[in-house]
Amino acid sequence: MTTYPPGFEQAWEAYPHWEYRSTRKLALKVWKRDKLEDNIENVLRWIEVCSRGDDWTKQGGKFVPGMQVWMNQRDFSENPPEVKADPLSPTGRSNVTTIKGWLERSG
């Protein structure tokens, strides 16, 4: 049985996983290689910010990369940018566009 560092377990639980893209073993390898245990607070902030972005929310999270891939693309010594979440779902946005079009035609 593998014992995981506490920070890794916390990040693994916070990270949204889509199907089998995330492999705990590969993510742990990147975690240890990059010594991310020391940056756990920043890793969790990155997860929170990315989780609110359009790429991770569209189609029910279908485009969330595997955790190991995502960690390879980040510098966790830097603070994440602030991302403002769109309060509308893709369906809601589509409905607003349809209603706007209807109002423009009828007005």
pLDDT at position 105: 83
The number of angstroms, rounded, from the C-alpha of 16 to the middle of its chain's C-alpha atoms is: 6
DSSP assignment letter at 18: -
Does 20 score more than 80 pLDDT? Answer: no
**Terminal Cα-to-Cα distance of the chain (whole angstroms):** 67
Spell out the SS3 assignment of 68-104: HHHHHCCCCCCCCCCCCCCCCCHHHHHHHHHHHHHHH
pLDDT at 84: 60
87 has pLDDT over 70: no
> What integer is the mean pLDDT of 16-31?
83
**What residue has token string 């589509």?**
94
Question: How would residue 35 be classed by pLDDT, with cut points 50, 70 and 90?
Answer: very high
pTM value > 0.75: no
Please check the confidence at residue 19 and state whether its pLDDT lies above 70.
Answer: no
Q: What is the mean pLDDT of residues 25-39?
A: 94
Question: What pLDDT score does 52 carry?
Answer: 84
Per residue in 48-74, pLDDT tens? 998 888 888 888 778 888 999 999 998
